[in-house]
Chains A and B, each alone.
Chain A
Protein backbone atom coordinates (compact mmCIF):
# COMPACT_ATOMS: atom_id res chain seq x y z
CA UNK A 1 0.00 0.00 0.00
CA UNK A 2 1.53 3.32 -1.09
CA UNK A 3 1.24 5.69 1.83
CA UNK A 4 2.62 9.18 1.34
CA UNK A 5 1.71 9.83 4.98
CA UNK A 6 5.00 8.13 5.84
CA UNK A 7 6.81 11.18 4.53
CA UNK A 8 4.77 13.27 6.91
CA UNK A 9 6.12 11.19 9.79
CA UNK A 10 9.64 12.10 8.69
CA UNK A 11 8.87 15.66 7.74
CA UNK A 12 7.03 16.56 10.94
CA UNK A 13 9.98 16.42 13.30
CA UNK A 14 12.15 18.12 10.68
CA UNK A 15 9.59 20.88 10.34
CA UNK A 16 9.55 20.94 14.12
CA UNK A 17 13.30 21.49 14.10
CA UNK A 18 12.96 24.35 11.62
CA UNK A 19 10.18 25.87 13.68
CA UNK A 20 12.25 25.61 16.83
CA UNK A 21 15.10 27.45 15.12
CA UNK A 22 12.73 30.15 13.90
CA UNK A 23 11.08 30.61 17.26
CA UNK A 24 14.35 30.46 19.18
CA UNK A 25 13.82 33.90 20.62
CA UNK A 26 10.53 33.07 22.28
CA UNK A 27 11.10 30.05 24.56
CA UNK A 28 7.43 29.46 25.31
CA UNK A 29 6.43 29.41 21.66
CA UNK A 30 9.46 27.27 20.86
CA UNK A 31 8.54 24.62 23.39
CA UNK A 32 4.91 24.79 22.29
CA UNK A 33 6.05 24.09 18.74
CA UNK A 34 8.10 21.14 19.96
CA UNK A 35 5.16 19.73 21.86
CA UNK A 36 2.73 20.29 19.02
CA UNK A 37 4.88 18.53 16.45
CA UNK A 38 5.49 15.74 18.94
CA UNK A 39 1.81 15.25 19.49
CA UNK A 40 0.99 15.41 15.82
CA UNK A 41 3.76 12.97 14.99
CA UNK A 42 2.48 10.52 17.57
CA UNK A 43 -1.02 10.69 16.10
CA UNK A 44 0.34 10.15 12.59
CA UNK A 45 2.31 7.13 13.72
CA UNK A 46 -0.63 5.82 15.67
CA UNK A 47 -2.83 6.14 12.60
CA UNK A 48 -0.64 3.60 10.85
CA UNK A 49 -1.16 1.01 13.57
CA UNK A 50 -4.52 -0.49 12.50
CA UNK A 51 -3.29 -1.11 8.99
CA UNK A 52 -0.12 -2.82 10.21
CA UNK A 53 -2.10 -4.87 12.69
CA UNK A 54 -4.31 -5.99 9.83
CA UNK A 55 -1.21 -7.32 8.11
CA UNK A 56 -0.83 -4.43 5.67
CA UNK A 57 2.55 -2.85 4.98
CA UNK A 58 2.28 0.88 4.21
CA UNK A 59 5.20 1.88 2.03
CA UNK A 60 6.59 4.87 0.21
CA UNK A 61 9.63 5.60 -1.94
CA UNK A 62 11.48 8.87 -1.39
CA UNK A 63 14.30 9.04 -3.92
CA UNK A 64 16.59 6.63 -5.69
CA UNK A 65 20.12 7.26 -4.48
CA UNK A 66 21.73 4.18 -5.94
CA UNK A 67 19.77 2.66 -8.79
CA UNK A 68 17.94 -0.42 -7.51
CA UNK A 69 18.32 0.76 -3.92
CA UNK A 70 16.02 3.71 -3.30
CA UNK A 71 15.57 5.52 -0.03
CA UNK A 72 12.31 3.81 0.75
CA UNK A 73 10.09 3.17 3.72
CA UNK A 74 7.85 0.32 4.71
CA UNK A 75 6.10 -0.09 8.02
CA UNK A 76 6.23 -3.57 9.51
CA UNK A 77 5.44 -4.64 13.08
CA UNK A 78 8.90 -4.06 14.54
CA UNK A 79 9.27 -0.64 13.00
CA UNK A 80 5.72 0.23 14.02
CA UNK A 81 6.54 -0.63 17.59
CA UNK A 82 9.79 1.29 17.63
CA UNK A 83 8.23 4.34 16.01
CA UNK A 84 5.39 4.32 18.52
CA UNK A 85 7.80 4.12 21.42
CA UNK A 86 10.06 6.86 20.06
CA UNK A 87 7.28 9.26 19.13
CA UNK A 88 5.25 8.79 22.31
CA UNK A 89 8.24 9.19 24.56
CA UNK A 90 9.32 12.26 22.62
CA UNK A 91 6.22 14.07 23.86
CA UNK A 92 6.90 13.06 27.43
CA UNK A 93 10.54 14.00 27.15
CA UNK A 94 9.68 17.40 25.74
CA UNK A 95 7.48 18.04 28.75
CA UNK A 96 10.30 16.90 30.98
CA UNK A 97 12.89 18.98 29.14
CA UNK A 98 10.93 22.14 29.70
CA UNK A 99 11.22 21.65 33.43
CA UNK A 100 14.76 20.35 33.34
CA UNK A 101 16.42 22.77 30.94
CA UNK A 102 14.91 25.82 32.62
CA UNK A 103 15.33 24.47 36.12
CA UNK A 104 18.96 23.68 35.41
CA UNK A 105 19.63 26.93 33.55
CA UNK A 106 21.12 25.25 30.47
CA UNK A 107 22.39 27.37 27.57
CA UNK A 108 21.86 26.91 23.83
CA UNK A 109 18.38 25.56 24.36
CA UNK A 110 17.29 26.29 20.81
CA UNK A 111 20.07 24.15 19.36
CA UNK A 112 19.13 21.51 21.90
CA UNK A 113 15.49 21.30 20.85
CA UNK A 114 16.33 21.47 17.15
CA UNK A 115 18.88 18.65 17.29
CA UNK A 116 16.47 16.67 19.38
CA UNK A 117 13.80 16.95 16.70
CA UNK A 118 16.25 15.93 13.96
CA UNK A 119 17.27 12.93 16.04
CA UNK A 120 13.63 11.89 16.32
CA UNK A 121 13.18 12.27 12.57
CA UNK A 122 16.13 9.96 11.98
CA UNK A 123 14.82 7.49 14.55
CA UNK A 124 11.55 7.38 12.62
CA UNK A 125 13.58 6.94 9.44
CA UNK A 126 15.41 4.00 11.00
CA UNK A 127 12.11 2.53 12.16
CA UNK A 128 10.44 2.67 8.77
CA UNK A 129 13.46 1.91 6.56
CA UNK A 130 12.64 -0.70 3.98
CA UNK A 131 16.17 -1.58 2.98
CA UNK A 132 19.64 -1.66 4.47
CA UNK A 133 20.82 1.49 2.72
CA UNK A 134 17.93 3.56 4.07
CA UNK A 135 18.53 2.13 7.50
CA UNK A 136 22.21 3.01 7.27
CA UNK A 137 21.53 6.55 6.07
CA UNK A 138 19.24 7.39 8.97
CA UNK A 139 21.45 5.53 11.41
CA UNK A 140 24.29 7.87 10.47
CA UNK A 141 22.10 10.96 10.58
CA UNK A 142 21.05 9.89 14.04
CA UNK A 143 24.68 9.69 15.14
CA UNK A 144 25.56 13.08 13.69
CA UNK A 145 22.48 14.86 14.98
CA UNK A 146 23.01 13.62 18.52
CA UNK A 147 26.66 14.62 18.62
CA UNK A 148 25.91 18.29 19.41
CA UNK A 149 23.62 17.07 22.18
CA UNK A 150 26.36 14.99 23.76
CA UNK A 151 28.81 17.89 23.68
CA UNK A 152 26.09 20.30 24.74
CA UNK A 153 27.91 21.67 27.78
CA UNK A 154 31.01 22.47 25.69
CA UNK A 155 33.43 21.50 28.45
CA UNK A 156 36.63 19.57 27.80
CA UNK A 157 35.06 16.48 29.28
CA UNK A 158 32.06 16.79 26.98
CA UNK A 159 34.33 17.21 23.97
CA UNK A 160 36.33 14.13 24.89
CA UNK A 161 33.13 12.18 25.36
CA UNK A 162 31.90 13.48 22.02
CA UNK A 163 35.03 12.18 20.35
CA UNK A 164 34.50 8.71 21.82
CA UNK A 165 30.85 8.85 20.87
CA UNK A 166 31.49 9.79 17.28
CA UNK A 167 34.57 7.62 16.93
CA UNK A 168 32.88 4.42 18.08
CA UNK A 169 29.54 4.96 16.37
CA UNK A 170 30.83 6.27 13.04
CA UNK A 171 33.81 3.95 13.12
CA UNK A 172 31.93 0.72 13.65
CA UNK A 173 29.21 1.70 11.23
CA UNK A 174 31.63 2.48 8.42
CA UNK A 175 34.11 -0.30 9.06
CA UNK A 176 31.70 -3.12 9.77
CA UNK A 177 28.13 -2.20 8.99
CA UNK A 178 28.69 -0.58 5.61
CA UNK A 179 31.01 -3.43 4.71
CA UNK A 180 28.32 -5.93 5.65
CA UNK A 181 25.65 -4.06 3.71
CA UNK A 182 27.79 -4.04 0.60
CA UNK A 183 28.57 -7.69 1.08
CA UNK A 184 24.88 -8.50 1.35
CA UNK A 185 24.30 -6.50 -1.79
CA UNK A 186 26.97 -8.44 -3.65
CA UNK A 187 25.74 -11.79 -2.34
CA UNK A 188 22.01 -11.30 -2.66
CA UNK A 189 21.80 -8.63 -5.34
CA UNK A 190 19.40 -6.67 -3.15
CA UNK A 191 19.29 -5.03 0.22
CA UNK A 192 15.56 -4.92 0.85
CA UNK A 193 14.00 -6.26 4.02
CA UNK A 194 11.87 -9.32 3.24
CA UNK A 195 10.15 -11.64 5.61
CA UNK A 196 12.11 -14.85 5.69
CA UNK A 197 15.32 -13.02 4.86
CA UNK A 198 17.21 -12.56 1.63
CA UNK A 199 20.35 -14.52 2.43
CA UNK A 200 18.94 -18.03 2.68
CA UNK A 201 20.57 -20.14 0.00
CA UNK A 202 22.87 -17.30 -1.01
CA UNK A 203 25.36 -17.28 1.83
CA UNK A 204 27.20 -20.28 3.21
CA UNK A 205 27.46 -20.78 6.98
CA UNK A 206 30.87 -19.15 7.25
CA UNK A 207 29.87 -16.05 5.28
CA UNK A 208 26.65 -15.86 7.28
CA UNK A 209 28.51 -15.95 10.57
CA UNK A 210 31.00 -13.31 9.51
CA UNK A 211 28.19 -11.13 8.18
CA UNK A 212 26.24 -11.54 11.37
CA UNK A 213 29.27 -10.52 13.39
CA UNK A 214 29.82 -7.52 11.12
CA UNK A 215 26.24 -6.43 11.70
CA UNK A 216 26.22 -7.04 15.45
CA UNK A 217 29.46 -5.12 16.00
CA UNK A 218 28.84 -2.70 13.14
CA UNK A 219 25.60 -1.53 14.70
CA UNK A 220 27.56 0.12 17.47
CA UNK A 221 24.39 1.66 18.88
CA UNK A 222 23.45 -1.79 20.20
CA UNK A 223 26.45 -1.35 22.54
CA UNK A 224 27.60 -4.95 22.43
CA UNK A 225 30.96 -5.19 24.18
CA UNK A 226 33.67 -4.21 23.30
CA UNK A 227 31.94 -1.38 21.42
CA UNK A 228 29.92 -0.08 24.36
CA UNK A 229 32.22 2.69 25.55
CA UNK A 230 30.30 5.43 23.79
CA UNK A 231 27.21 4.93 25.90
CA UNK A 232 28.71 5.74 29.32
CA UNK A 233 30.67 8.52 27.62
CA UNK A 234 27.44 10.02 26.28
CA UNK A 235 26.19 10.52 29.83
CA UNK A 236 27.82 13.95 29.94
CA UNK A 237 24.83 15.13 27.94
CA UNK A 238 21.90 16.87 29.66
CA UNK A 239 19.60 14.34 31.30
CA UNK A 240 16.71 14.56 28.80
CA UNK A 241 19.19 13.51 26.13
CA UNK A 242 20.37 10.58 28.19
CA UNK A 243 16.77 9.72 28.89
CA UNK A 244 15.23 9.77 25.45
CA UNK A 245 18.22 9.22 23.22
CA UNK A 246 20.55 7.09 25.25
CA UNK A 247 17.86 4.99 26.82
CA UNK A 248 15.37 4.97 23.97
CA UNK A 249 15.87 6.44 20.51
CA UNK A 250 19.57 5.90 19.81
CA UNK A 251 20.22 2.65 21.63
CA UNK A 252 16.90 1.18 20.63
CA UNK A 253 17.63 2.14 17.04
CA UNK A 254 20.71 -0.04 17.44
CA UNK A 255 19.06 -3.15 18.82
CA UNK A 256 16.09 -2.58 16.56
CA UNK A 257 18.47 -2.63 13.59
CA UNK A 258 20.03 -5.87 14.83
CA UNK A 259 16.61 -7.40 15.26
CA UNK A 260 15.45 -6.20 11.88
CA UNK A 261 18.56 -7.50 10.16
CA UNK A 262 18.15 -10.89 11.82
CA UNK A 263 14.48 -11.17 10.94
CA UNK A 264 14.42 -9.65 7.49
CA UNK A 265 17.91 -10.09 6.06
CA UNK A 266 19.22 -13.33 7.52
CA UNK A 267 15.85 -14.86 8.32
CA UNK A 268 15.42 -16.82 11.54
CA UNK A 269 15.11 -20.02 9.51
CA UNK A 270 18.46 -19.47 7.81
CA UNK A 271 20.17 -18.63 11.10
CA UNK A 272 18.69 -21.68 12.75
CA UNK A 273 19.81 -23.80 9.82
CA UNK A 274 23.47 -22.82 10.13
CA UNK A 275 23.14 -23.68 13.78
CA UNK A 276 25.99 -23.35 16.20
CA UNK A 277 28.38 -21.27 14.11
CA UNK A 278 26.91 -18.07 15.51
CA UNK A 279 27.16 -19.43 19.05
CA UNK A 280 30.17 -17.33 19.91
CA UNK A 281 28.24 -14.17 19.08
CA UNK A 282 25.52 -15.17 21.50
CA UNK A 283 28.25 -15.74 24.05
CA UNK A 284 29.52 -12.20 23.46
CA UNK A 285 26.01 -10.89 24.10
CA UNK A 286 25.76 -13.00 27.24
CA UNK A 287 29.08 -11.70 28.48
CA UNK A 288 27.90 -8.15 27.79
CA UNK A 289 24.76 -8.79 29.84
CA UNK A 290 26.70 -9.98 32.86
CA UNK A 291 29.67 -7.66 32.57
CA UNK A 292 27.39 -4.66 32.09
CA UNK A 293 25.51 -5.56 35.26
CA UNK A 294 28.71 -6.09 37.22
CA UNK A 295 30.16 -2.76 36.14
CA UNK A 296 26.85 -1.07 36.96
CA UNK A 297 27.09 -2.34 40.53
CA UNK A 298 30.42 -0.64 41.00
CA UNK A 299 29.45 2.77 39.62
CA UNK A 300 28.59 5.39 42.18
CA UNK A 301 27.53 8.00 39.65
CA UNK A 302 23.83 7.46 39.14
CA UNK A 303 23.77 8.12 35.40
CA UNK A 304 26.83 5.94 34.82
CA UNK A 305 25.17 3.12 36.69
CA UNK A 306 22.05 3.49 34.59
CA UNK A 307 24.17 3.59 31.44
CA UNK A 308 25.86 0.30 32.21
CA UNK A 309 22.50 -1.13 33.10
CA UNK A 310 21.39 -0.08 29.61
CA UNK A 311 24.43 -1.78 28.08
CA UNK A 312 23.43 -4.94 29.85
CA UNK A 313 19.75 -4.70 28.95
CA UNK A 314 20.44 -3.99 25.30
CA UNK A 315 22.25 -7.26 24.99
CA UNK A 316 19.11 -9.04 26.16
CA UNK A 317 17.58 -7.91 22.90
CA UNK A 318 20.65 -8.79 20.88
CA UNK A 319 20.69 -12.20 22.48
CA UNK A 320 16.99 -12.70 21.84
CA UNK A 321 17.55 -11.79 18.22
CA UNK A 322 20.57 -14.06 17.78
CA UNK A 323 18.87 -17.05 19.37
CA UNK A 324 16.47 -16.56 16.46
CA UNK A 325 13.72 -18.66 17.97
CA UNK A 326 10.08 -17.57 17.74
CA UNK A 327 9.73 -16.50 21.34
CA UNK A 328 13.23 -15.07 21.45
CA UNK A 329 12.37 -12.61 18.69
CA UNK A 330 9.03 -11.73 20.21
CA UNK A 331 10.69 -11.23 23.57
CA UNK A 332 13.38 -9.06 22.04
CA UNK A 333 10.76 -6.90 20.33
CA UNK A 334 8.77 -6.54 23.53
CA UNK A 335 11.89 -5.70 25.48
CA UNK A 336 12.46 -2.70 23.22
CA UNK A 337 9.18 -1.28 24.52
CA UNK A 338 9.35 -2.37 28.12
CA UNK A 339 12.92 -1.38 28.74
CA UNK A 340 12.33 1.96 27.05
CA UNK A 341 9.58 2.96 29.46
CA UNK A 342 11.42 1.73 32.53
CA UNK A 343 14.81 3.19 31.67
CA UNK A 344 13.49 6.57 30.60
CA UNK A 345 11.75 6.81 33.96
CA UNK A 346 14.97 6.03 35.77
CA UNK A 347 16.83 8.71 33.84
CA UNK A 348 14.05 11.21 34.41
CA UNK A 349 14.37 10.55 38.11
CA UNK A 350 18.13 10.93 38.02
CA UNK A 351 17.71 14.26 36.24
CA UNK A 352 15.03 15.37 38.70
CA UNK A 353 17.36 14.67 41.61
CA UNK A 354 20.03 16.70 39.86
CA UNK A 355 17.75 19.66 39.21
CA UNK A 356 16.13 19.72 42.63
CA UNK A 357 19.09 18.80 44.84
CA UNK A 358 22.18 18.93 42.63
CA UNK A 359 23.19 15.40 43.52
CA UNK A 360 24.69 12.99 41.02
CA UNK A 361 26.16 10.18 43.08
CA UNK A 362 24.28 7.22 44.49
CA UNK A 363 25.99 7.64 47.83
CA UNK A 364 24.52 11.15 48.17
CA UNK A 365 20.96 9.94 47.92
CA UNK A 366 20.47 8.93 51.54
CA UNK A 367 17.06 10.03 52.70
CA UNK A 368 16.20 11.88 49.55
CA UNK A 369 12.98 9.91 49.27
CA UNK A 370 11.49 12.09 51.93
CA UNK A 371 12.15 15.22 49.92
CA UNK A 372 11.13 13.70 46.60
CA UNK A 373 8.57 11.00 47.33
CA UNK A 374 6.97 10.93 43.88
CA UNK A 375 10.27 10.78 42.06
CA UNK A 376 11.71 8.04 44.17
CA UNK A 377 8.48 6.03 44.09
CA UNK A 378 8.61 6.18 40.31
CA UNK A 379 12.22 5.11 40.52
CA UNK A 380 11.19 2.09 42.53
CA UNK A 381 8.45 1.15 40.05
CA UNK A 382 10.82 1.45 37.08
CA UNK A 383 13.54 -0.51 38.87
CA UNK A 384 11.14 -3.34 39.53
CA UNK A 385 10.12 -3.28 35.88
CA UNK A 386 13.76 -3.62 34.84
CA UNK A 387 14.17 -6.48 37.27
CA UNK A 388 11.13 -8.06 35.65
CA UNK A 389 8.67 -8.47 38.48
CA UNK A 390 5.01 -9.20 37.72
CA UNK A 391 2.47 -6.41 37.48
CA UNK A 392 5.08 -4.43 35.58
CA UNK A 393 5.69 -4.40 31.85
CA UNK A 394 9.26 -5.62 32.18
CA UNK A 395 8.00 -9.00 33.23
CA UNK A 396 6.59 -9.91 29.85
CA UNK A 397 9.68 -9.29 27.82
CA UNK A 398 11.85 -11.28 30.22
CA UNK A 399 9.27 -14.00 30.20
CA UNK A 400 9.35 -14.36 26.44
CA UNK A 401 13.09 -14.01 26.22
CA UNK A 402 13.37 -16.82 28.74
CA UNK A 403 10.89 -18.87 26.75
CA UNK A 404 13.01 -18.23 23.70
CA UNK A 405 16.12 -19.62 25.32
CA UNK A 406 14.23 -22.68 26.51
CA UNK A 407 12.67 -23.16 23.10
CA UNK A 408 16.10 -23.31 21.51
CA UNK A 409 17.35 -25.55 24.27
CA UNK A 410 20.01 -23.17 25.51
CA UNK A 411 19.58 -23.43 29.23
CA UNK A 412 22.87 -21.72 29.91
CA UNK A 413 21.37 -18.55 28.46
CA UNK A 414 18.36 -18.93 30.72
CA UNK A 415 20.81 -19.01 33.59
CA UNK A 416 22.43 -15.84 32.31
CA UNK A 417 19.05 -14.11 32.20
CA UNK A 418 18.20 -15.15 35.73
CA UNK A 419 21.60 -14.20 37.08
CA UNK A 420 21.40 -10.84 35.40
CA UNK A 421 17.97 -10.22 36.95
CA UNK A 422 19.50 -10.86 40.35
CA UNK A 423 22.33 -8.50 39.55
CA UNK A 424 19.88 -5.81 38.50
CA UNK A 425 18.18 -6.19 41.86
CA UNK A 426 21.57 -5.61 43.42
CA UNK A 427 22.44 -2.46 41.50
CA UNK A 428 19.02 -0.81 41.25
CA UNK A 429 17.08 -1.51 44.39
CA UNK A 430 19.65 -0.15 46.88
CA UNK A 431 18.96 3.29 45.46
CA UNK A 432 15.28 3.62 46.45
CA UNK A 433 16.06 1.73 49.65
CA UNK A 434 18.72 4.30 50.53
CA UNK A 435 16.41 7.11 49.56
CA UNK A 436 13.55 6.00 51.73
CA UNK A 437 15.10 4.02 54.56
CA UNK A 438 18.23 5.92 55.46
CA UNK A 439 18.22 9.23 57.22
CA UNK A 440 19.43 12.17 55.23
CA UNK A 441 23.01 13.17 56.01
CA UNK A 442 22.02 16.53 57.45
CA UNK A 443 20.24 14.70 60.26
CA UNK A 444 16.81 16.32 60.34
CA UNK A 445 14.28 16.11 57.53
CA UNK A 446 13.54 19.77 57.95
CA UNK A 447 13.65 20.68 54.29
CA UNK A 448 10.26 19.14 53.68
CA UNK A 449 9.14 18.11 50.23
CA UNK A 450 11.16 19.62 47.39
CA UNK A 451 10.44 17.98 44.07
CA UNK A 452 11.77 18.98 40.68
CA UNK A 453 9.74 21.50 38.58
CA UNK A 454 6.25 20.21 37.84
CA UNK A 455 6.82 19.33 34.15
CA UNK A 456 9.55 16.93 35.27
CA UNK A 457 7.32 15.31 37.85
CA UNK A 458 4.48 15.02 35.35
CA UNK A 459 6.76 13.27 32.86
CA UNK A 460 8.03 10.91 35.53
CA UNK A 461 4.52 10.00 36.59
CA UNK A 462 3.49 9.41 32.98
CA UNK A 463 6.29 7.02 32.17
CA UNK A 464 6.09 5.20 35.49
CA UNK A 465 2.39 4.70 34.90
CA UNK A 466 3.35 3.43 31.48
CA UNK A 467 5.41 0.69 33.10
CA UNK A 468 2.37 -0.39 35.07
CA UNK A 469 -0.11 -0.11 32.24
CA UNK A 470 2.05 -2.04 29.81
CA UNK A 471 1.71 -5.11 31.99
CA UNK A 472 -2.02 -5.19 31.26
CA UNK A 473 -1.87 -4.20 27.63
CA UNK A 474 0.96 -6.36 26.47
CA UNK A 475 -1.22 -8.67 24.46
CA UNK A 476 -1.78 -6.25 21.61
CA UNK A 477 1.96 -5.83 21.11
CA UNK A 478 2.40 -9.55 21.41
CA UNK A 479 -0.10 -10.16 18.64
CA UNK A 480 1.58 -7.51 16.50
CA UNK A 481 4.98 -9.05 17.00
CA UNK A 482 3.85 -12.58 16.35
CA UNK A 483 3.26 -11.48 12.74
CA UNK A 484 7.05 -11.57 12.48
CA UNK A 485 7.34 -15.23 13.11
CA UNK A 486 4.17 -16.29 11.38
Chain B
Protein backbone atom coordinates (compact mmCIF):
# COMPACT_ATOMS: atom_id res chain seq x y z
CA UNK B 1 0.00 0.00 0.00
CA UNK B 2 2.79 2.32 0.95
CA UNK B 3 4.46 1.54 -2.29
CA UNK B 4 1.45 3.12 -3.91
CA UNK B 5 0.54 6.01 -1.66
CA UNK B 6 4.07 6.87 -0.63
CA UNK B 7 4.93 7.57 -4.22
CA UNK B 8 1.63 9.11 -5.25
CA UNK B 9 3.31 12.09 -6.89
CA UNK B 10 5.15 9.73 -9.22
CA UNK B 11 1.96 7.89 -10.08
CA UNK B 12 0.29 11.13 -11.02
CA UNK B 13 3.28 12.14 -13.11
CA UNK B 14 3.32 8.79 -14.86
CA UNK B 15 -0.42 8.88 -15.54
CA UNK B 16 -0.20 12.37 -17.01
CA UNK B 17 2.88 11.48 -18.99
CA UNK B 18 1.22 8.48 -20.56
CA UNK B 19 -1.92 10.42 -21.32
CA UNK B 20 0.13 13.09 -23.04
CA UNK B 21 2.28 10.70 -25.02
CA UNK B 22 -0.72 8.66 -26.04
CA UNK B 23 -2.46 11.75 -27.32
CA UNK B 24 0.60 12.80 -29.27
CA UNK B 25 0.89 9.40 -30.86
CA UNK B 26 -2.75 8.47 -31.38
CA UNK B 27 -4.53 11.68 -32.22
CA UNK B 28 -4.82 12.60 -35.85
CA UNK B 29 -5.78 16.16 -35.09
CA UNK B 30 -2.75 18.43 -35.03
CA UNK B 31 -4.11 20.71 -32.33
CA UNK B 32 -4.79 17.70 -30.13
CA UNK B 33 -1.26 16.56 -30.72
CA UNK B 34 -0.01 19.87 -29.40
CA UNK B 35 -2.31 19.58 -26.40
CA UNK B 36 -0.95 16.11 -25.78
CA UNK B 37 2.53 17.50 -25.96
CA UNK B 38 1.55 20.10 -23.38
CA UNK B 39 0.19 17.49 -21.00
CA UNK B 40 3.34 15.48 -21.44
CA UNK B 41 5.51 18.48 -20.63
CA UNK B 42 3.34 19.45 -17.68
CA UNK B 43 3.81 16.02 -16.16
CA UNK B 44 7.54 16.60 -16.23
CA UNK B 45 7.12 20.00 -14.61
CA UNK B 46 5.11 18.39 -11.83
CA UNK B 47 7.78 15.78 -11.43
CA UNK B 48 10.49 18.39 -10.96
CA UNK B 49 8.45 20.43 -8.51
CA UNK B 50 7.38 17.46 -6.41
CA UNK B 51 10.97 16.31 -6.24
CA UNK B 52 11.95 19.67 -4.80
CA UNK B 53 9.48 19.35 -1.94
CA UNK B 54 11.13 18.71 1.41
CA UNK B 55 8.65 17.15 3.81
CA UNK B 56 7.77 19.60 6.56
CA UNK B 57 9.45 22.40 4.67
CA UNK B 58 7.90 25.65 3.61
CA UNK B 59 8.31 27.90 0.63
CA UNK B 60 11.92 28.99 0.35
CA UNK B 61 11.42 32.47 1.69
CA UNK B 62 13.19 33.39 4.89
CA UNK B 63 10.56 33.55 7.60
CA UNK B 64 10.40 33.56 11.39
CA UNK B 65 10.05 30.15 12.99
CA UNK B 66 11.02 28.09 9.95
CA UNK B 67 14.21 26.18 9.60
CA UNK B 68 13.16 23.79 6.82
CA UNK B 69 12.67 25.02 3.36
CA UNK B 70 11.77 23.22 0.16
CA UNK B 71 14.47 23.15 -2.52
CA UNK B 72 13.91 26.23 -4.68
CA UNK B 73 16.16 25.20 -7.52
CA UNK B 74 13.70 22.85 -9.29
CA UNK B 75 11.10 25.63 -9.19
CA UNK B 76 13.46 27.98 -10.88
CA UNK B 77 14.36 25.39 -13.47
CA UNK B 78 10.72 24.73 -14.16
CA UNK B 79 10.00 28.41 -14.61
CA UNK B 80 12.44 28.27 -17.49
CA UNK B 81 10.99 25.02 -18.75
CA UNK B 82 7.47 26.47 -18.70
CA UNK B 83 8.66 29.36 -20.81
CA UNK B 84 10.19 26.87 -23.22
CA UNK B 85 6.92 24.93 -23.24
CA UNK B 86 4.89 28.03 -23.98
CA UNK B 87 7.23 28.94 -26.80
CA UNK B 88 6.96 25.45 -28.23
CA UNK B 89 3.19 25.57 -28.08
CA UNK B 90 3.18 28.97 -29.73
CA UNK B 91 5.38 27.85 -32.58
CA UNK B 92 3.37 24.66 -32.94
CA UNK B 93 0.04 26.46 -33.08
CA UNK B 94 1.42 29.06 -35.48
CA UNK B 95 2.53 26.26 -37.76
CA UNK B 96 -0.89 24.64 -37.52
CA UNK B 97 -2.55 27.89 -38.54
CA UNK B 98 -0.38 27.98 -41.63
CA UNK B 99 -0.94 24.30 -42.30
CA UNK B 100 -4.65 24.94 -42.15
CA UNK B 101 -4.28 27.76 -44.63
CA UNK B 102 -2.21 25.63 -47.01
CA UNK B 103 -4.17 22.40 -46.77
CA UNK B 104 -7.56 23.52 -45.47
CA UNK B 105 -7.42 20.79 -42.87
CA UNK B 106 -5.59 19.99 -39.65
CA UNK B 107 -6.16 16.25 -39.79
CA UNK B 108 -2.91 14.36 -40.15
CA UNK B 109 -4.20 11.65 -42.45
CA UNK B 110 -5.89 14.11 -44.81
CA UNK B 111 -2.66 16.10 -45.08
CA UNK B 112 -0.76 12.92 -45.76
CA UNK B 113 -3.23 11.95 -48.45
CA UNK B 114 -3.08 15.28 -50.24
CA UNK B 115 0.73 15.19 -50.27
CA UNK B 116 1.00 11.60 -51.40
CA UNK B 117 2.07 12.22 -54.98
CA UNK B 118 4.94 14.38 -53.77
CA UNK B 119 6.32 12.74 -50.68
CA UNK B 120 5.69 9.26 -49.46
Direct contact of A and B (CB under 8 A): no
Could you tell me which A residues sit within 8 Å of B by CB distance?
A: none
